[in-house]
Amino acid sequence: MAQTVSRVSTPPPVRSEPRVRLPWPLSIYQTAVGKKWVMGLTGAALLGFIVVHMIGNLHLYEGPLEIHEYAETLRDLGTKIIPRTWLLWAMRFGLIAAFGLHIHSAYSLSRMSMAADQRYPGGRNYIAANFASRTMRWTGPIIGLYLFYHLADLTWGWFNPDFVRGDPYHNVSESLGSIPVAILYIVANVALAVHIFHGTWSMFQSLGVNSPRYNHLRRYLAGGLAGIILVGNLSFPIFVQAGVIDDNGRSIVEELQQHEAAEGEEN
């Protein structure tokens, strides 16, 4: 530059330079705005998953065989080109990576903000911040813990003595049939919807998607998505408790598989 400006004397910086400068483009992740970009992008990916997951789960209302068939279809994705379950696993690894980055960026940015912020002993009035935006650092960990329980319960079957691999209808009706578990699912999904309400709107700001003509739609989109996900996801514990999803402890898929195995022996 034509003119040099000497550095202003300032209070000591709150944030020090990273010890190792990563090569481009990883260096972008070492900046706060870059981390917000990653948080927004991974949030969008996770949001996409949550919407698809909720819609897919609606197959529960069709019946045990239909949801089983849907689960098998997911494993069969891409089988015409690559071996079975590879595409599903690729998507799973993508989600795990997105989840890890989402948590790491949230953690390090929170640390940075906590270092920069000072309390007001006289109290602070919030005017624009809403419940959702102020509880992001609470709803996030709640969702994380719930996700672990959810996988352990319905994917790995750790907490369910009657767990039958490959029969989602049976596992869901057994698990969510217990009142404490149903309450846990309801609480966690309310936290998820609250997180999504602020996250969806916030994502547009962080990614710089801002056009005065369409800005008013961002709140509607956030509210709409949070609402749809809330209604869809809460319907499962509620309808299991109401007895709409109930196989009376019989795993139809298991019986079918045993029947097929017996037929195979006969032939």
Partner 1 sequence: MSSEINLTLQVWRQPGPQAEGRFVTYEASGISTDASFLEMLDIVNERLIENGEEPIVFESDCREGICGTCGLMINGQAHGPQKSTATCQLHMRSFKDGDHIVIEPWRATSFPVLRDLAVDRRAMDAIIASGGYISVNTGAAPDANLTPVPKETADTAFDAAACIGCGACVAACPNSAAQLFTAAKVQHLNLLPQGQAQRWARTEAMVETMEEFFGSCTNHGECEEACPKDIPIDFIAWTNRDYIKAKVKNRKLAG
> What region, left, alpha or beta, does residue 123 occupy, with left being phi > 0 and alpha being psi -120 to 50 degrees?
left
Contact 201, 265 (CB under 8 A): no
Q: Is 83 in the site for partner 1 (CB under 8 A)?
A: no
Q: Is 210 in the site for partner 1 (CB under 8 A)?
A: yes
Contact 38, 103 (CB under 8 A): no
Among 57, 85, 133, 160, binds partner 1 (CB under 8 A): 133
Rank residues 130 and 155 by Cβ distance to partner 1 and give the closer one: 130
Amino acid making up residue 164: V
Residue with tokens 């019986």: 255
For residues 186 to 205, the per-residue mask of contacts with partner 1, x marking binding by CB under 8 A and - elsewhere, is: ------------x--xx-xx
Among 26, 33, 242, 261, binds partner 1 (CB under 8 A): 33
The interaxial angle of helices 179-206 and 215-242, nearest 10 deg, is 170
Q: How far is the CB of 39 from partner 1 (least distance, A)?
A: 10
Query: How many residues belong to the chain?
Result: 267
Cβ count near 34 (within 10 Å): 15
The span of 11-19, 59-67, 220-228, 237-245 binding partner 1 (CB under 8 A) equals: 11-19
Q: Is 163 in the site for partner 1 (CB under 8 A)?
A: no
* Size of the residue set binding partner 1 (CB under 8 A): 59
Q: CB neighbours of 146 closer than 8 A, spacing ≥ 6?
A: 184, 185, 188, 191, 192
- Given the rule CB under 8 A, which residues bind partner 1? 1-3, 5-11, 13-15, 24-25, 27-28, 31-37, 109-110, 112-129, 133-134, 136, 198, 201-202, 204-210, 212, 215
